[in-house]
């Protein structure tokens, strides 16, 4: 058998493939059904929050912030209840990160406010002296891409049965009809902010990136499945 | 088996990839040095507005050094050594030649598009798989073409036995193909939602914990099949060829190959220790990471023993220095990795700077050293000129070795300091430090790392200068050197 | 838990198969060299003697692969 493999590069390649594929088959596939179940009562991200998640991805917050609280006292004291698999059921992609140059954000919505985030994104050292995080002032003028976020909601609803309402439907018309709901949600956040450009933009029907990002950050935590928490 | 005096190896494609390796190496390391400096001196975040922040540049750094520099180096060495160990020339087949050039053209398009889209913020936010779906498709095409070239060359080979380096390149091709496809499974939202939103955006087929598993199955094995497997393939060719010594034990090289293939894939879940991934998988990742020391050290020791009785070459030939140090760093790195994969160590090390420290003693000390040594070895043979300056290589060697040592020592200290401070409690059991305390304390180590980046980058510029001078204005060789590369 | 158990047995079984195969390979390598059928260490010279017109270095076995060996 070995002699034959050494002489036949093609079957040799098949052999290599089987050996390396084996670990994947055993380790990964069978776990799929179990690991994708949401915790009881978990709601999916709203379209505005999805748009905020896109800002989070675009400015690559994951480079410095994790979203995974490990089951150690030092971590639960600092960040709150450790993370559960079911909390990530609607996270596509997962945003656990691999480096904490800044603190974990998985429950940041439980203990930070819109105002705090606004100050922090404008100038991190104003609320955290000594911070090495860059300011993200461009998020106050760049307009968030709501259409793409809406398209994502439609996609996950149809492809993966994520429980969105009947008003999330494919097509430009359905999107136009849905837009006012996103704007209404954005207005609530803008009302708590002080930046004039942001307020003007939202009043004019545009949603700056920072508003979407704050909506997303506020949704991180237990509030998406536990009404009692803030 | 006819002897064909007029036939020569054709290095056209190998040369093209050598140029891109130098270019992307410089760009990637320049960005790396900049972002290292940003952590020490945050004012540097505002050089390029929105496009110059640490967070936007960090994936650009990793992608340019991996898919620009390393992959160019892999292709350059492949197109060079595959011909030689199979004893066929690319010039013998118009088809192979065309496919090789086509692959390079597409590669250049993809790499350029990668830089632009990531700078603009188009990303899947999966580490080392940031590129969005149109680029992913292009990469699949490039990879398939590579496979066609590889097996076409094997098909017309004169040397019936495949040299061990070819085994490693075949494994690189297969491993990356499988992992890349699975990890990048995504649905483009524009089409799924009836023409709403950006055409570039896609949503992952996997969610949450599953996505994490698939991603780190990829992330870990990208390290295996891009940073380890082909680089081992390189050293199995370049070290014997440069030193004139055959591999110490060919049988050991075969065994470590199969050992590596079998064990490496299992270890992926060590990136997810203490997470919401099932416990038995974490344990499995931990155990197999430790077992992984065996095949890794098998290869590395084989390399060192190849130099048995010929250690004087270490002082005489700077390229041997590069390669011997590379295998030493490989040993260090493959010992450090399993240590970090032990659950109790991981509890401290994970999320800290010890991890980038570990990555960089591998990629700078092992991958970059090996690629540069390989390209230096190839240069006199491809361009038929001697290497421009030996003393420049010597200086580069010491500068870059210092840089790597500074990098990993500073990050070891930084990582362990940070890990210990996060968990430190006072006598009443309350946390002793607020998070920002654990950041500001790292400033000196970040500054040292930035310095090490400057040193390594300077060394790379010396490498690039030496290579360019070799190509253009060095002394012309009348015949091809057999073993030791000639240098002035 | 059907799938979990199946997975456990499959993994155990395959691991044993691979371990046996690996050790079998070691035995095969040394035995075929002892019997003089092959000389693996000679293959190391492929890297050293790699001119396009130099004679291929092959194992000393009687090459039954002229027709099927070429993929």
DSSP per residue over B414-437, as a string?
HHHHHHHHHH-B-TTS-B---HHH
CB contact under 8 A, B209 and A88: yes
Write the CB contacts of B479 (distance below 8 Å, at least 6 apart in sequence): none
Q: How far is C21 from chain A (nearest CA, A)?
A: 10
Interface predicted TM-score (ipTM): 0.93
B329 in Cβ contact with B401 (< 8 Å): no
Angle at CA of residue B366, ends B362 and B367, nearest 5°? 95
Amino acid B270: pLDDT: 86
Other C-beta atoms lying within 10 Å of the C-beta of residue A61: 23
DSSP H helices, chain C, are 2-34, 40-43, 45-48
Interface of B with C (CB under 8 A): 1, 3-5, 7-9, 83-85, 87-89, 151, 154-156, 158-161, 163-165, 236-237, 240-241, 244, 246-247, 249-251, 254-255, 258-259, 262, 483
Amino acid B419: pLDDT: 95
Q: What integer is the mean pLDDT of B316-336?
A: 95
Which chain C residues have a beta carbon less than 8 Å from that of A5? none
pLDDT tens for each residue of B211-252: 998 898 888 888 889 999 999 999 999 999 999 999 999 999
Judging by DSSP bridges, how do beta strands B186-188 and B202-204 pair with one another?
A: antiparallel
Nearest to A2 among C25, C65, C71 (CB): C25
Amino acid C61: pLDDT: 46
CB contact under 8 A, B4 and C52: yes
Position C63 pLDDT exceeds 50: no
Amino acid A35: pLDDT: 67
Q: How far is A38 from chain C (nearest CA, A)?
A: 20
pLDDT confidence bin for C71, thresholds 50/70/90: very low
Which strand (E) or helix (H) includes residue B202? strand B202-204
A131 in Cβ contact with A125 (< 8 Å): yes
Most confident of A20-34, B261-275, B335-349, C3-17: B335-349
pLDDT confidence bin for C69, thresholds 50/70/90: very low
Mutate which of B250, B264, B280 to disrupt the C interface (most C C-beta within 10 Å)? B250
B324 in Cβ contact with B307 (< 8 Å): yes
Q: What integer is the mean pLDDT of C33-48?
A: 87
Which chain B residues have a beta carbon less than 8 Å from that of A160? 207
Which chain C residues have a beta carbon less than 8 Å from that of A17? none
CB contact under 8 A, A26 and C68: no
Position B143 pLDDT exceeds 60: yes
Other C-beta atoms lying within 10 Å of the C-beta of residue B137: 12
CB contact under 8 A, A26 and C18: no
Distances (CA, A) of B69 to A43, B72, B226: 43, 5, 11
Which strand (E) or helix (H) includes residue B187? strand B186-188
| A-C C-beta contacts closer than 8 Å | 29
Both tokens of residue A61? Answer: 């917050």
Query: What does the alpha-carbon distance between residue C7 and residue C3 come to, in Å, rounded to a whole number?
Result: 6
| Chain C contact partners (≥3 CB pairs within 8 A) | A, B
Q: Sign of the C-alpha dihedral, residues A28, A31, A36, A38?
A: negative
pLDDT tens for each residue of B278-300: 787 788 888 888 888 989 999 99
CB contact under 8 A, C69 and A22: no
Query: What does the alpha-carbon distance between residue B179 and residue B136 come to, in Å, rounded to a whole number?
Result: 12
Query: What does the alpha-carbon distance between residue A155 and residue A167 come to, in Å, rounded to a whole number?
Result: 13
Q: Assess B228–A contact: CB distance below 8 Å, yes or no.
A: no
pLDDT tens for each residue of B68-82: 999 999 999 999 999
Write the CB contacts of B366 (distance below 8 Å, at least 6 apart in sequence): B227, B231, B326, B327, B329, B330, B333
Q: Assess C28–A contact: CB distance below 8 Å, yes or no.
A: yes
Please give the backbone phi and psi of residue B487, each rounded to the nearest 5 degrees, phi first.
-145, 150
Q: Assess C8–A contact: CB distance below 8 Å, yes or no.
A: no
The one-digit pLDDT tens for each residue of chain A (230 residues) are 677 777 778 888 888 888 888 777 776 666 676 667 899 999 999 999 999 999 999 999 999 999 999 999 999 999 999 999 999 999 999 999 999 999 999 999 999 999 999 999 999 999 999 999 999 999 999 999 999 999 999 999 999 999 999 999 999 999 999 999 999 999 999 999 999 999 999 999 999 999 999 999 999 988 899 876 54
Name the residue ranges covered by the structural domains of chain C. 20-50
Q: What integer is the mean pLDDT of B305-326?
A: 94
More confident residue, B222 or B320: B320
pLDDT tens for each residue of B377-390: 999 999 999 999 99
CB contact under 8 A, C7 and A30: yes
As a three-state string, the secondary structure of B66-99 is HHHHHHHHHHHHHHHHHHHHHCCCHHHCHHHHHH
Amino acid C70: pLDDT: 37
pLDDT confidence bin for B484, thresholds 50/70/90: very high
B35 in Cβ contact with B61 (< 8 Å): yes
Nearest to B247 among C30, C44, C56 (CB): C44
| Chain A contact partners (≥3 CB pairs within 8 A) | B, C
| A-B C-beta contacts closer than 8 Å | 262
Interface of C with B (CB under 8 A): 18, 22, 25-26, 29-30, 33, 40-48, 50-59, 63, 65, 69-71
- The nearest alpha carbon in chain C to A30 belongs to C3
Which chain B residues have a beta carbon less than 8 Å from that of A54? 201
């Amino acid at each position: 058998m070995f002699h034959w493999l050494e002489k036949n590069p093609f079957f040799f390649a098949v052999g290599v493939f089987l050996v390396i594929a084996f670990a994947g088959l055993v380790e990964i596939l069978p776990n799929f059904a179990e690991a994708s179940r949401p915790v009881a009562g978990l709601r999916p991200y709203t379209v505005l929050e999805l748009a905020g998640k896109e800002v989070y991805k675009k400015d690559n917050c994951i480079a410095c912030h994790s979203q995974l609280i490990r089951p150690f006292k030092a971590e639960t004291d600092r960040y709150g209840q450790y993370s559960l698999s079911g909390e990530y059921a609607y996270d596509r992609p997962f945003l656990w990160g691999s480096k904490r140059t800044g603190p974990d954000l998985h429950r940041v919505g439980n203990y930070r406010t819109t105002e705090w985030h606004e100050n922090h994104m404008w100038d991190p050292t104003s609320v955290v002296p000594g911070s090495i995080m860059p300011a993200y002032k461009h998020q106050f003028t760049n307009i968030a891409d709501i259409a793409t976020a809406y398209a994502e909601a439609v996609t996950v609803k149809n492809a993966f049965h994520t429980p969105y309402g009947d008003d999330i439907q494919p097509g430009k018309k359905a999107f136009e009809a849905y837009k006012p709901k996103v704007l209404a949600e954005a207005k609530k956040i803008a009302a708590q902010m002080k930046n004039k450009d942001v307020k003007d933009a939202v009043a004019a029907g545009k949603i700056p990136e920072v508003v979407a990002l704050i909506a997303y950050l506020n949704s991180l935590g237990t509030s998406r499945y536990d009404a009692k928490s803030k | 088996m006819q002897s064909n005096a007029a036939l020569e190896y054709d290095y056209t494609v190998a040369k093209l990839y050598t140029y891109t390796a130098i270019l992307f190496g410089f760009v990637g390391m320049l960005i790396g040095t900049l972002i290292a400096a940003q952590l020490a001196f945050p004012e540097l975040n505002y050089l390029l507005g929105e496009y110059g922040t640490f967070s936007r540049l960090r994936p650009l750094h990793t992608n340019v050094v991996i898919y620009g520099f390393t992959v160019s180096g892999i292709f350059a060495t492949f197109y060079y050594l595959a011909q030689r160990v199979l004893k066929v020339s690319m010039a013998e087949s118009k088809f192979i030649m065309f496919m090789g050039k086509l692959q390079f053209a597409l590669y250049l398009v993809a790499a350029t598009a990668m830089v632009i889209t990531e700078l603009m913020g188009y990303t899947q936010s999966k580490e080392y798989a940031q590129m969005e779906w149109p680029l992913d498709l292009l990469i699949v095409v490039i990879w398939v073409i590579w496979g066609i070239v590889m097996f076409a060359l094997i098909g017309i080979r004169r040397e019936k036995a495949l040299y061990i380096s070819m085994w490693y390149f075949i494994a690189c091709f297969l491993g990356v193909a499988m992992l890349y496809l699975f990890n990048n499974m995504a649905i483009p939202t524009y089409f799924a939602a009836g023409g709403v939103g950006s055409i570039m955006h896609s949503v992952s087929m996997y969610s949450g914990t599953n996505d994490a598993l698939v991603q780190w199955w990829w992330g870990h094995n990208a390290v295996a099949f891009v940073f380890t497997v082909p680089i081992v393939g390189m050293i199995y060719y370049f070290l014997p060829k440069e030193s004139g010594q055959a591999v110490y034990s060919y049988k050991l090289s075969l065994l470590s190959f199969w050992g590596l293939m079998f064990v490496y894939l299992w270890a992926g879940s060590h990136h997810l220790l203490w997470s919401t991934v099932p416990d038995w998988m974490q344990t499995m990742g931990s155990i197999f990471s430790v077992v992984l020391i065996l095949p890794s050290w098998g290869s590395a020791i084989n390399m060192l023993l190849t130099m048995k009785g010929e250690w004087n070459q270490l002082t005489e030939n700077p390229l041997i220095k590069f390669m011997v140090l590379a295998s030493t760093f490989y040993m260090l790195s493959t010992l450090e990795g399993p240590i970090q994969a032990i659950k109790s160590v991981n509890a401290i090390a994970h999320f800290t700077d010890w991890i980038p420290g570990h990555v960089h003693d591998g990629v700078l000390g092992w991958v970059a050293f090996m690629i540069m040594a390989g390209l230096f070895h190839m240069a006199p043979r491809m361009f038929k000129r001697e290497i421009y300056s030996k003393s420049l290589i010597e200086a580069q060697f010491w500068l870059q070795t210092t840089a790597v040592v500074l990098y990993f020592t500073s990050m070891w200290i930084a990582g362990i300091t940070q890990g210990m401070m996060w968990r430190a409690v006072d006598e009443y059991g309350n946390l002793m430090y607020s998070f920002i305390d654990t950041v500001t304390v790292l400033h000196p180590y970040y500054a040292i790392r930035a310095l090490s980046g400057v040193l390594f980058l300077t060394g790379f510029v010396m490498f690039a200068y030496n290579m360019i001078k070799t190509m253009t204005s060095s002394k012309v060789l009348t015949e091809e050197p057999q073993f030791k590369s000639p240098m002035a | 838990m059907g799938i979990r158990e199946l997975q456990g047995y499959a993994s155990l079984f395959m691991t044993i198969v691979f371990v046996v195969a690996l050790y079998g390979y070691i035995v095969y390598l040394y035995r075929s060299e002892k019997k003089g059928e092959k000389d693996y260490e000679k293959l190391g010279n492929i890297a050293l003697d790699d001119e396009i017109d130099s004679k291929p270095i092959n194992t000393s076995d009687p090459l039954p692969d002229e027709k099927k060996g070429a993929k």
